[in-house]
Amino acid sequence: MQIYKFNHVLKTVLWGGDKLTEFEHLPSTDEPIGESWELSAVPGLESVVKGGEDDGLTLTELLQRHGAALVGEEVYQHYGDHFPLLIKFIDAKRDLSIQVHPDDALAQRRHGSLGKTEMWYIIQADEGSKILTGFKRPMSPEEYERRIADGTILDVINVTESKPGDVFFIPAGQVHAIGAGNLLAEIQQSSDITYRVYDYNRLDANGKPRELHTEQAREALNYNVVNSRVDYEPAPIPGITSLVRCPKFEVQRIDFNDGFTLSLPQPHSFVAMMCLEGATTLHVADMEPVSLRQGETVLVPAVVNKVEMTGSAQLLTATI
């Protein structure tokens, strides 16, 4: 086994921009890139291993080959050959639609899928950039439908100015949207189910209004007030800062200026590492060293219990 790198899965969308090409050191393009899927087992959009003995395998094929050694015994017992997370970088040059995701029970009943709880870490934010999350006050399904019909749904959604380092936790059922000007990391359950609630009356590439999912969203929405912004106390440098811990995933930030040793208790899950800035080389016993720089993501197998990191970097880590 090894520390795994994967090819980027880039998505061109009407609200995308050009920040990801610079952030991820990609060739420039005139296409509006909105998402770079870093770790994905979503059918048709799977990550593919880049380099090493498992070169060319999809993430699902990799999991089928290595099983619990890759993801951890408890994770494998719970999820089997389904990788449980979807990890992305997102560039919103324009506002994303107002949307909601179903929880596990509803997603399983309707789509045979996991639900979608997610978190965002703001990497860059233009002046005045905003995040929209949750209702300002308790709502009812009837008021929701009325406000969709008369175009006033934005009047009852919380709006927060965003800045680098902000963290937002979005449980399934919470109405939300990424505002224009945000470059962020997204860690979520492995699900691509989205119910679009409101889209500013925009037209798609064919000049038609984009589809709304008013009825599907009605049952999925949490109509109570839920705070999404996460307050956290940064750890000293070098150190590990806990950002989000929930039943679906745990996310931490690691900051270091002259190397760092990450110890991983056994048994544990895999560790996905996203480099937000700087560069490092990862050293694991009996494995080839792997470089990791800004805009790259690696998957550290569950069999690893210690990672020695050189250089200076800021990383996000995601585990189950």
Catalytic residues: 196
d(CA 201, CA 25): 34
Q: Return the ∠ at Cα 257 (arms to 255 and 260), rounded to 5°.
A: 65
Residue 49, SS3? strand
d(CA 262, CA 317): 11
Length of the chain: 320
Q: What is the DSSP letter of 286?
A: T
Q: Tokens at residue 136, please? A: 């300002």
d(CA 129, CA 179): 6
The DSSP string of 120-185 is EEEEEE-TT-EEEEEESS---HHHHHHHHHHT-GGGGEEEEE--TT-EEEE-TT--EEEPTTEEEE
d(CA 167, CA 131): 10
